[in-house]
Structure 1
Amino acid sequence: MLEQFKEQFEKRGYEKPTAIQEAVFEPMSQHKSVLGLAPTGSGKTVAFILPILGEVVPGDGSQILILSPSQELAMQTTSVIRDWAKSYDVKVLALTGGANVKRQMEQLRKRPEIIIGTPGRVLNLVEDRKLKLHLMQTIIIDEADDLLAGETLETVRNTVEQAPADVQLGFFSATETPILHELPKWFGQEVETFDVRLIDDTQGQVAHDLLQISPKKRVESLKKLSTMENFRALVFFNQMSTLKYVVSRFRHEHVAFAELTSDARQVQREKALKDFRLGRVKLLLTTDVAARGLDIPKLPAVVNFDLPSTPNTYVHRAGRTGRMGEPGLVVSMGDDHDLRDFRHQMAKSDYEYKRVYFFKKALVERIPDQPKARVEASTTNSTSTPTGRETHKGAERAKREPYSSAKVVETPIKKKGHKKHQKNKGMRKKRREQSDKV
């Protein structure tokens, strides 16, 4: 690795480059197209920008294009690249949906050398001839397993076709999908694969907990989790409707939280992330689309309010915590049936799951035994009180239920209508006396 990069690594507190950074540096420096597979949080952004940054010519137009699946990831990547490109005198521009397109077009007139954007916005600007790709040297497809799926695949391919035929391609992902083995077929280039997932050592110790809870009690359980000391979590939902329901409940119950959704304005999304990163709120409610690839330093926990639908989705969610050697926690909520299906779905993964319970503002593997119930009535003389027999039964029940901490206090059972008989008896006597007088 180049000497100036080693100096920058040391300035940022890194002891050494990560496995993916070392693996792809040489081939990318030689302008080869690559597929890099590495765990989330292993420094993939730095891995693909360092080898190509030295090849950028200031003032020579747009030469590097990086495609990201979400606005947040695009802005995060932009921030990282600007930091590393400070000494190269190059301009870095973000082109994301939701931002002011006229302002972006004005920035494009300055001919930025590096562009980071979301596929839809980038292709729209290309088709409107506001962004020209004829000078592109390298195109990076970040989170490739996501971008090369569904309709986005065609958007990415149409964008790449606007660049020179010999453009260098870089595909980076944390998980494998079938299309990643067919890249030459879809993009017409040979792509060399570098998979460092088994040798990467950037992941910290992450606990994977299963919290059995019925659907009706999940909102209350999420509130309880937020009361734990030093707890802060990215909370994932499968459906926007469920997320909105929890939002309405939390607002009504005055729970401090933030929401990060794809339908929110960019200003709102930036504020939500800022509040969460600064610890102003403990819970950030989001979806897989909105939170894809997010890097939140030292994030303590991830909560699966809804269990993920695929193993790859779980990998990406879990990868938000335990990054760069930090400890982490993943809590997955579901009823007995849901958790059983989830275990079956994740059977081939390397994760170890354990069942946990919420007890005294903490997650524990077992709830400690509680004191035996005290019996507050004498059982030596059952005839000394009208409820002596019932109290004796209560004592026996307390012996059989050692986990109950409630006091056994029996009350007399009142018989309905027992005073009514006495009242009627008096009335009959009065009527007899009146009849005698007559």
Structure 2
Amino acid sequence: MISEFQTHAEKLGYQSWTAIQKAVYEPLLAGQNVVGIAPTGSGKTVAFTLPLLSRIEPEDDTALIVVEPSAELAMQTEKTIQEWGRLINLTTQGIVGGANMKRQIERLKDHPNIIVGTTGRLMDLINLGKLKLTNVQTIVIDEADNLLSEDTLPAIRELVDKAPEATQLGFFSATENDILKNVNRWFVQDMQTFDVSAIDDTQGNVKHGQLQVSSHKKAQMLLRFLHMKDFKALVFFDQLNTLQKVSGFLIHRHVREAAKLTSEQSQTSRQNALRDFRKGKVRLLLTTDVAARGIDIPKLPAVINFDLPRDAKTYTHRVGRTGRMHEDGLVINMGDDHDLRRLKQMVRDHFDLQNIYFDGNQLSDTKPKMTEKLSAEDESGTSQPETPPATKSPTHKKADKPRGHQLKPRPHHKKNKHSKRKGMHHKRTEK
């Protein structure tokens, strides 16, 4: 390893390299085509960054392209690569959809050494002739199980086909799908797989809890988590419309410590939500699997599955957001008895789910003696005293009528048949 990288690693507090970083360093440095499989949060970005940057010279034209499934992940990866690249005078540019294309084209004129981008925008600029692949040495497909799907595989293959035939390929992921398992069928390069899932030791102690709660009480339950000291969590939803409803529920109750991260938001809005979440200003970040794919939140205490995942692969990606780099983590799965039993059956080969309960404003492994009921009136998440029911009077079958200010009835006056000159006789005078 070059001295600049070694010094920077020590400055960052690296005590040892992770399993995936050790496994792929020499093969990537030697130009081999690699498939790297390692748990979420095990340092895969640094694993391919250090050896691949070591092969690039500052005077080289675009030599490395890293493809990410989302703009957020692309910007996150760009930041990491830029941090290491500066040490040896390499330049990095991000190219994502939603950003100003004209500015991206102008920056390409500076011939950056490394480009990190999303598939759609990369292909747009390639087809426009603005991004040249003539000198590309390596293409890395990050979150490969996501990008090598039926929907995106054709675009990835087209990108690789436009690069020189000798281009080195790297595929990195936390889990495998059928395409990734049989990657040699889809690409002419001979791939070598390094799966370190069984020996990786970067995961901390992560507790997987199941909290029994009915569907219509889940939104109220989120309010209770905000009463827990230093609690912060990514909250996962299957459906965007459910996320929007819950977000509206929280906004209506003036909850300022919650925000949403969705693919429908503007890039600026998503960046602000992630920034506030990382800083702790936002404690509940409502998101979907697509929007949160690969997002790295250092020392994230918890993940909440508001909607339970439909398959074990999705569960693995979600829970990998917490318990990274030897930190402890917590996963809270909310659902009714039937849903929780189905989830436990689905992930039992890899994760041990245990019942958890609310005891006051804290989570507990032990079921409280008096099970608290979260009433509809208790929308603030705190216990409210119940109003005792009204009792009937023992002497009266009917309840007394409310006593208000009663007006006295007007006395009835008979109409006087006589004129004002009562008893007086009027004589008619004749003229």
Q: Do Structure 1 and Structure 2 share a fold, with TM-score over 0.5?
A: yes
Percent same amino acid among aligned pairs?
49
TM-score normalized by the length of structure 2: 0.86
AA in 2 matched with 1:267: T
Which position in structure 2 is the counterpart of 1:282?
283
Give me the whole-angstrom Cα distance separating, in 2, the residues matched to 1:206 and 1:236: 17
Say yes or no: does 1:317 pair with 2:323. Answer: no
Specify the SS of the correspondent of 1:284. Answer: strand
Q: 1:410 to 1:34 in 2, by over 3 A?
A: same
Give me the whole-angstrom Cα distance separating, in 2, the residues matched to 1:314 and 1:370: 32
Specify the SS of the correspondent of 1:325. Answer: coil
Q: How does 1:115-194 map to 2 (within 5 A)?
A: 115-194=115-194
Deviation string for 1:72-126 (max 9, x for gaps)? 1100000001111112212100001111111111111111110000111111111
Say yes or no: does 1:357 pair with 2:364. Answer: no
Which position in structure 2 is the counterpart of 1:270?
271
Give me the whole-angstrom Cα distance separating, in 2, the residues matched to 1:239 and 1:417: 53
Which position in structure 1 is the counterpart of 2:261?
260
AA in 1 matched with 2:155: T
Specify the SS of the correspondent of 2:274. Answer: helix
Specify the SS of the correspondent of 1:60. Answer: coil
Give me the whole-angstrom Cα distance separating, in 2, the residues matched to 1:194 and 1:419: 80
Give me the whole-angstrom Cα distance separating, in 1, the residues matched to 2:108 and 2:152: 23
Which position in structure 2 is the counterpart of 1:106?
106
Give me the whole-angstrom Cα distance separating, in 1, the residues matched to 2:326 and 2:366: 28
> After the TM superposition, which of the residue ranges 181-190 and 211-220 deviates more from structure 2?
181-190
Deviation at 1:366, TM superposition (A): 2.1
AA in 1 matched with 2:50: L
Which position in structure 1 is the counterpart of 2:416?
none
AA in 1 matched with 2:260: E
Give me the CA root mean square deviation: 2.1
Deviation string for 1:178-211 (max 9, x for gaps)? 1112111101111001111111111111110101
Q: 1:254 to 1:417 in 2, by over 3 A?
A: closer
Q: 1:26 to 1:185 in 2, by over 3 A?
A: same
Deviation at 1:226, TM superposition (A): 1.8
Deviation at 1:412, TM superposition (A): 6.0
Deviation at 1:410, TM superposition (A): 10
Give me the whole-angstrom Cα distance separating, in 2, the residues matched to 1:249 and 1:9: 45
Deviation at 1:347, TM superposition (A): 2.5
Give me the whole-angstrom Cα distance separating, in 2, the residues matched to 1:406 and 1:66: 59
Which position in structure 1 is the counterpart of 2:50?
50
Which position in structure 2 is the counterpart of 1:21?
21
What stretches of structure 2 of length at least 5 have no aligned partner? Answer: 372-384, 401-431
Which position in structure 2 is the counterpart of 1:376?
none
Specify the SS of the correspondent of 1:348. Answer: coil
AA in 1 matched with 2:268: V
Specify the SS of the correspondent of 2:186. Answer: helix
Q: 1:130 to 1:365 in 2, by over 3 A?
A: same
Say whether the 8 Å CA contact 2:357–2:368 is kept in structure 1: no
Give me the whole-angstrom Cα distance separating, in 2, the residues matched to 1:131 and 1:325: 40
Which position in structure 2 is the counterpart of 1:382?
none
Which position in structure 1 is the counterpart of 2:292?
291
Deviation string for 1:338-372 (max 9, x for gaps)? 111111211322x111111112111112234359x
Deviation at 1:407, TM superposition (A): 12
Specify the SS of the correspondent of 2:303. Answer: strand
Which position in structure 2 is the counterpart of 1:399?
none
Specify the SS of the correspondent of 1:367. Answer: coil
Runs of 4+ displaced beyond 4 Å: 405-420
Which position in structure 2 is the counterpart of 1:97?
97
Q: 1:406 to 1:305 in 2, by over 3 A?
A: closer
Give me the whole-angstrom Cα distance separating, in 2, the residues matched to 1:281 and 1:157: 39
Which position in structure 2 is the counterpart of 1:239?
239
Deviation string for 1:5-43 (max 9, x for gaps)? 322211110101111001000111110000001111111
Specify the SS of the correspondent of 2:105. Answer: helix
Deviation at 1:418, TM superposition (A): 8.0
Specify the SS of the correspondent of 1:150. Answer: coil
Which position in structure 2 is the counterpart of 1:393?
none
What stretches of structure 1 of length at least 5 have no aligned partner? Answer: 372-404, 421-438
Between the two proteins, the alignment pairs up a number of residues equal to: 386
Deviation at 1:58, TM superposition (A): 1.6
Q: 1:417 to 1:9 in 2, by over 3 A?
A: closer
Say yes or no: does 1:331 pair with 2:355. Answer: no
Say whether the 8 Å CA contact 1:9–1:16 is kept in structure 2: no
Say yes or no: does 1:343 pair with 2:348. Answer: no
Specify the SS of the correspondent of 1:289. Answer: coil
Specify the SS of the correspondent of 1:324. Answer: coil
Give me the whole-angstrom Cα distance separating, in 2, the residues matched to 1:109 and 1:408: 75
Q: 1:210 to 1:162 in 2, by over 3 A?
A: same
AA in 2 matched with 1:281: V
> After the TM superposition, which of the residue ranges 19-28 and 53-62 deviates more from structure 2?
53-62
AA in 2 matched with 1:235: V
> After the TM superposition, which of the residue ranges 337-346 and 216-225 deviates more from structure 2?
337-346
Give me the whole-angstrom Cα distance separating, in 2, the residues matched to 1:138 and 1:232: 38
Which position in structure 1 is the counterpart of 2:410?
none
Q: How does 1:211-250 map to 2 (within 5 A)?
A: 211-250=211-250
Deviation at 1:57, TM superposition (A): 2.1
Say whether the 8 Å CA contact 2:2–2:54 is kept in structure 1: no
Which position in structure 1 is the counterpart of 2:421?
none
Which position in structure 2 is the counterpart of 1:66?
66
AA in 2 matched with 1:26: E
AA in 2 matched with 1:263: E
Say whether the 8 Å CA contact 2:393–2:399 is kept in structure 1: no
Deviation string for 1:133-184 (max 9, x for gaps)? 1211000000000000121111111111110011000000001111112111
Specify the SS of the correspondent of 1:47. Answer: helix
Deviation at 1:419, TM superposition (A): 11
Which position in structure 2 is the counterpart of 1:37?
37
AA in 2 matched with 1:310: D
